[in-house]
Amino acid sequence: MPSKRWVITGASRGIGLATAKKALSQGDHVAVLARRINLPVLRAELGPNALMLATDVADPNSVQTSLGRIRETWGSIDVLVNNAGLHRGRKLARLDTADWDAVLATNLSGPMHCIKAALNLMGDGGAIVNIGAVVGFRGFPGDSPYGASKAGLAGLTQVLAVELAPRNIRVNLVVPGLVLSEMTSAVDEKAMSKLLERIPLGRIGRAEEIAAVICWVANSTYMTGAVIPTDGGLMAQF
């Protein structure tokens, strides 16, 4: 099987980095897009088949510049993973409008900018994998910006699955649950215990587990418009 060329946003850490490593381990090439990139560290971690590009997905000009570089380097791409995300939240009465705007710009407009730019490089058989969140389907107090952005991304996934099917480009949504990350490591023990009580499998997930699902979805040639929870049963619990 010929190697694929991936574009993964938010790929300098967490699920994005784990997905990049998984794709590279399969012999594929990966363009790592992130706002902040530590080039020496990522080069050492990812090796010569990775292309690192500092990119702000909320800025369409930044996205166009990075995709232009990818076109110059590879000519085309096979997979786009919209993983970059921003989380800010408070209950609505105390929510700063600037935080709302920033979250929507990154989590919803960002994937739209990336998809529009990527479609010029993606041919028949391409795959787009959007990364959702449980809060896009279930209500959590204080998470209105994040929840709204991820619910919107779910809707965008459905629309584009139908819109792009004539081009044989598949669009799916992977929905991680609580995953071990820098953000969750800051949660205190009591709060973490309460969160774990709501997860049927009784533990948080690992980025590598989500990455394995993302790669499977990207390679599933008769799947489009699907929502794939990878959350330890969290959505089933509610």
Who contacts 148 (Cβ-Cβ below 8 Å, separation ≥6)? 104
Q: Which two tokens stand for residue 217?
A: 């979805």
Region of poorest pLDDT, from 31-35, 50-54, 135-139, 218-222? 135-139
- What gap in Å lies between CA 11 and CA 163, rounded to an integer? 27
Q: What is the CATH number of the domain that holds 135?
A: 3.40.50.720
Position 156 scores a pLDDT of: 98
Residue range 169-178, pLDDT digits in tens:
999 999 999 9
User: Considering only CA atoms, which of 91, 50, 53 is closest in space to residue 69?
Assistant: 53
**Highest mean pLDDT: which of 88-92, 192-196, 217-221?**
217-221
79 band by pLDDT with thresholds 50, 70 and 90: very high
% residues pLDDT > 90 (the chain): 81
Q: Which two tokens stand for residue 127?
A: 């795959």
Give the pTM: 0.94
DSSP 109: I
Position 199 scores a pLDDT of: 93
Q: What angle do CA 199, 204, 210 make, to 5 degrees?
A: 110
Domain extent at residue 104: 5-237
120 band by pLDDT with thresholds 50, 70 and 90: very high
Q: 115 or 2, which is more confident?
A: 115
Tell me how many domains the chain contains. 1
Q: What residues are labeled active site?
A: 146
Position 238 scores a pLDDT of: 67
